Structure 1
Amino acid sequence: MLIKTLILLNFYVLFTIGTSLWHYECLESYCEKTLTTSNTSNGLSLSECNILCHNGAAIWPKPTGNVTVSDLVEIDLKSFTFTTTPQTAITSLVTEAFDIFTKQIKKFVSCKVFLGKSNAIDVASVQVVFNILDQKLDLMTFGTDESYRIETQLTNNSVVYVNVTAPSFFGARHALETLSQLVVYDDIRQRTLFPSNIFIVDGPIYSWRGISLDTSRNYVTPKAIKRTLRAMAASKLNTLHWHLTDTASFPYVSKSHPELSEYGAYSPSKVYNNDTVKTLIEYARVRGIRVVPELDSPAHVGEGWQTTGVVTCFNWKPWDDYCVEPPCGQFDPSQDKLYDILEDVYGDFLSQFDPEVFHMGGDEVNVNCWNSTSNLTKWMVEEKGWNLTKEDFLDKLWPYFQDEASKRLYKAAGKEIPIILWTSELTFLDNVQEILPPSKYLLQVWERSDDLRIQTLLEKNYSLILSNYDALYLDCGFGGWVDDGQNWCSPYKTWQTIYDNKPEVIAGNRTSQILGGETALWTEESGTNSLDSRLWPRAAAFAETLWTSPSTNWEQAQERFLIHRERLVALGIDADEIQPEWCRRNQHNCRL
């Protein structure tokens, strides 16, 4: 009899306040799942509780300034409109960004919507008013101010006015991303809710927040790259470092040297032609992302270059004598023709990407490859008067190549633009400042975070981008592909390890020289089909580290991280699961 009474009582509650046996209560910055009873008159749905209870309103990445979010009101998703200054350089960007925003909030909500309709009479509409100070800046640059401020006002006629103030379009775009995370669906009462009281001041700590994506080892389709860009925008990342070519393939279609992709692409269908590149750059731009191309050299060149006469060691065997992975290939710096071709290809890149900085790669040169090239060693001895010691190859030949290549880059650009290089034996030379002046070069660090040479580079006044492999290489922890066992950088890098990879810990009192960082995905063992699960949601963990510079560790971020993963899935990203769904619905119950 008691059981029957409880069942009838619960059905009465469901009929009167919603369809769930459960509701949530806010307890010490998390939401506790609670059984609904006859005494429950105002139980919160999980989505409501997440916004009202979690520190930072469950926003990812967590805002760096003040956050006040309260007073949820029911809204009509179709009621979102906006106003901005008409007919300026950024008008079309704002319009497209708002269109992306409205489509996005429908995706966040539609996957949860109950088919029934709300009986509410007073449903609010939302008017977003943009006040963007710089009406001309339409490209992300080093100096772009990405901060924003959001304030709301609820009028008597049920209109929520959202005032977005930002120095640039890119800050305003981030504000829209934040607003999209504040639109939630109450699955107890089947209604869409939005806070009528919002005050948020926010802006990133680090200006370079990105992903390095290799599309050479295995081809990645443009559609998959677009998914990556969507997830990056949702996580407020702003840089796609595109590692376009490598020894395995040359999928980039060069206007000046189309033979490179004709010989070097895996197939005619696995290329990035002018239209594809142009589309991806624009797709990124309206989402607040700059695309920085990389043409790696003087190593990591092979397929596509084999008919040019400027490459040595191509596919030599045994490969481990001449390179770090098959097929081998390295530029021959003694060939004058090499620099003519590079100038042409640099010009192609510059005209398409219009980057303010260019990535020239520069890692993993194999001295034995050069020393085994007879015409090169003859040139070194007879024409340059150099010896053939390791020091001669590193201190003389490699700097010679870098100097000649950089001159051709500057010529193609019509000016000197900053150059990014990976750290290498070249960057760790004692006289590196003479070879690579810190005023002209930025260095991307891939060594372990505890490598003492990082401090040496900082002391030599270099600005650094962090991609230390002990935390930020997302291809680690899988099976070996040139032998058995696990791959070289194992173990797998967990989101917790990534989140706690703090630039300020690595750099100490020279943190100001850290531009930011990138998670890196090398695709020897991944590609289109596994791209999402390799990148997401782990790359989003570093997004908060770089945006917020949190003083706490991953444990304080875990509940919000689970919520953000759900947002990525709603956007069509196949983000990997990191816990059972039960943990998200029963917060603070899965920690040791």
Structure 2
Amino acid sequence: MTVTSCKMLSRGTPRSCLPPPTSPSKKNQPWRKDNDFKGYLDSVKVNLLTPCEDYPYQDMDEHYEIKIDSPDAPREGTIISQSIWGILRGLETFSQLLVPDASAFNVNSTQIMDFPRFAFRWVLRNSCSFKIYDDQSFPYVSDAFPDLSNMGSYSPSHVYRAKDVSAVVEYARLRGIRVLPEFDTPGHTESWGPGQPGLLTPCYKGSSPDGTFGPIDPSKDNNYDFLQTLFTEVTGRFPDHYIHLGGDEVNFSCWKSNPNITDFMAKINITGDYSKLEQVYITKLVDIVSNLPTKNGYLVWQEVFDNGVEIANDTIVHVWKYENVPVAWKHELNQVTSAGYKTVLSSCWYLNYISYGVDWHKYYECDPQDFHGTDSQKQLVMGGETCMWGEYVDRTNLISRTWPRASVVAEKLWSSSEHTNSTSEATPRLEEHRCRLLARGYDVEPLWPSFCSADVY
């Protein structure tokens, strides 16, 4: 069967697939004589059963159905979904059913009913998708606090202005992709200090400041006023319900050295307990974010939970440590979910690690529900996130290093566990997809010694 191209509205709403104006007539095309050929498929209907939604969101309906030459509709093609997001997923699957030959695309008679195993399937990229800053640079341009980027970014050109954020969000929206920013505090905030004097804690050597600074000073009320204004702006620019609040790798040594912090802790009866001090900060931050006009949900890194910080019941705990110790991250998942918290796993999907040879098996063999826990605990696992940290990755190698290995994680998080437990069965699928990405113009790495017909100059 031969399939012609589809057209999309500018806002991403599919129209029925129609033959292009230059498509040759069937009368001028030869009919094959073998038993496999059943005819030409002139169009594929797209059947969206509900009105379009503006933005993708957590637990959106991504279910879709594809019918090509089905018994109830012979020699017809249809993609059906209750949502625009399911239609987008169905269109991508349909594109992967097409097999090009010399003059057309071939497709088998097919019936597919598909939906994701996990709603949370993410790729993390520093300052791209979207851990938006770190100690070294603050590229987010705030209208309320312009000095944060003026004094904290690498340069005036290494920034994300409001129009840049809007462009990223819109690009993602048209593809049914959510953009969730991370504003990690109270640590990882060294780049904030120059643009917001008084925000960070001065570190002391003996009885005098030593000129360095530590995490955000949790003892100052005006710092919470600053955070409320900043997060009001941020949540207005990023439409997703969730925001990542970080909370990882908070170094207590600077807090311990500062006499003002010591006095503050004495006043609130937590002397010497710096996990409690962290809890004071996190509790106030969560209260700020949850009471913004946008009523955002939030994620925190696992250290917040590990340090015994009392967090709200609806907090999502992001498990990321012990990437090479499965027993440890599985224990962490058990601890988090037994406490009743929802969770997301990243520990086993750090794609930025460089290795020689076939390394994707370890990613494929990781399952976010493979830990000792009850069924109700495992239902608290929302999915996972594959990470491409940027210390040694920039625009020159981002695509090649991320793909197609991220596709391994994508299949694990989309498909059912019983169909994703064999690396040998996944191997031909992954090889085919790598060649497909090359044919689409992406310079993606080989996963083993191999050759794709698209890789011919």
For the criterion TM > 0.5, the same-fold answer is: yes
Deviations 1:493-536 (Å, cap 9, x if unpaired)? Answer: 92111111112213653321110000012111212212112211
Within the alignment, does 1:444 sit opposite 2:296 as a pair?
Answer: no
2:398 to 510, 531, 550: 531
How large is the Cα RMSD of the aligned pairs?
Answer: 3.0
Counterpart-to-counterpart distance in 1, 2:215 and 2:336:
26
Deviation at 1:548, TM superposition (A): 0.6
Q: Does the CA-based 8 Å contact 1:247-1:302 persist in structure 2?
A: yes
Deviation at 1:260, TM superposition (A): 0.6
1:260 to 123, 143, 148: 148
Aligned to 1:495: 360
Superposed, 1:201-216 pairs within 5 Å as: 201-215=113-127
Aligned to 1:428: 306
Deviations 1:277-304 (Å, cap 9, x if unpaired)? Answer: 1011011011110001110001010113
Aligned to 1:46: none
Counterpart-to-counterpart distance in 1, 2:393 and 2:15:
32
Deviation at 1:256, TM superposition (A): 1.1
**Gaps in structure 2 of 5+ consecutive residues:** 21-27, 32-38
> TM-score, normalised to structure 1's length?
0.66
Superposed, 1:406-425 pairs within 5 Å as: 406-415=286-295, 417-424=296-303
Q: Does the CA-based 8 Å contact 2:123-2:385 persist in structure 1?
A: yes
After TM superposition, the structure 1 stretch with the greater mean CA deviation from structure 2, 364-373 or 506-515, is 506-515
Aligned residue for 1:342, secondary structure, equals helix
- CA change 1:445–1:410 in 2 (3 A) is same
Counterpart-to-counterpart distance in 2, 1:302 and 1:334:
17
2:160 to 272, 276, 300: 272
Superposed, 1:129-278 pairs within 5 Å as: 129-153=45-69, 161-186=76-101, 190-195=102-107, 197-215=109-127, 240=129, 242-278=130-166
Question: Which amino acid letter does the alignment assign opposite residue 419 of structure 1?
Answer: Y
Aligned to 1:80: 5
Aligned to 2:174: 286
Aligned residue for 1:421, secondary structure, equals strand
Superposed, 1:550-589 pairs within 5 Å as: 550-551=417-418, 552-582=421-451
Aligned residue for 2:179, secondary structure, equals strand
1:345 to 230, 245, 259: 230
Within the alignment, does 1:376 sit opposite 2:261 as a pair?
Answer: yes
> TM-score, normalised to structure 2's length?
0.84
- CA change 1:554–1:379 in 2 (3 A) is same
- CA change 1:347–1:549 in 2 (3 A) is same
Q: Does the CA-based 8 Å contact 1:477-1:493 persist in structure 2?
A: no
Aligned residue for 2:429, secondary structure, equals helix
Aligned to 2:389: 522
Aligned to 1:403: 283
Superposed, 1:453-468 pairs within 5 Å as: 453-468=332-347
Q: Does the CA-based 8 Å contact 1:213-1:520 persist in structure 2?
A: yes
Aligned to 1:312: 201
Aligned to 1:387: 271
Deviation at 1:365, TM superposition (A): 0.7
- CA change 1:493–1:519 in 2 (3 A) is farther
Structure number having the greater helix percentage: 1
Deviations 1:522-570 (Å, cap 9, x if unpaired)? Answer: 1112122121122111111000001013432212100110111122223
Counterpart-to-counterpart distance in 2, 1:154 and 1:367:
64
Counterpart-to-counterpart distance in 2, 1:128 and 1:516:
32
After TM superposition, the structure 1 stretch with the greater mean CA deviation from structure 2, 570-579 or 529-538, is 570-579
Question: Which amino acid letter does the alignment assign opposite residue 142 of structure 1?
Answer: Q
Aligned to 1:365: 250
Q: Does the CA-based 8 Å contact 1:495-1:538 persist in structure 2?
A: yes
Counterpart-to-counterpart distance in 2, 1:91 and 1:131:
18
Percentage identity across paired residues of the two chains: 30
Q: Does the CA-based 8 Å contact 1:446-1:467 persist in structure 2?
A: yes
- CA change 1:260–1:197 in 2 (3 A) is same
Aligned to 1:298: 186
Q: Does the CA-based 8 Å contact 1:82-1:127 persist in structure 2?
A: no
Q: Does the CA-based 8 Å contact 1:150-1:199 persist in structure 2?
A: yes
Higher relative contact order (CA 8 A, sep 6+): 1
Aligned residue for 2:62, secondary structure, equals coil
Question: Which amino acid letter does the alignment assign opposite residue 353 of structure 2?
Answer: C
1:120 to 11, 25, 29: 29
Aligned residue for 1:579, secondary structure, equals coil
Deviation at 1:412, TM superposition (A): 2.8
Deviation at 1:264, TM superposition (A): 1.0
Deviation at 1:581, TM superposition (A): 2.2
Counterpart-to-counterpart distance in 1, 2:353 and 2:135:
20
Counterpart-to-counterpart distance in 1, 2:254 and 2:16:
49
After TM superposition, the structure 1 stretch with the greater mean CA deviation from structure 2, 447-456 or 285-294, is 447-456
Aligned to 1:219: none
Aligned to 2:23: none
Deviation at 1:136, TM superposition (A): 4.0
- CA change 1:339–1:457 in 2 (3 A) is same
Question: Which amino acid letter does the alignment assign opposite residue 450 of structure 1?
Answer: V
**Gaps in structure 1 of 5+ consecutive residues:** 1-72, 84-89, 103-118, 216-224, 226-239, 479-490, 586-592
Which runs of structure 1 show a deviation greater than 6 angstroms over 4 or more consecutive aligned residues? 96-99
Deviation at 1:456, TM superposition (A): 1.3
Counterpart-to-counterpart distance in 2, 1:556 and 1:138:
38
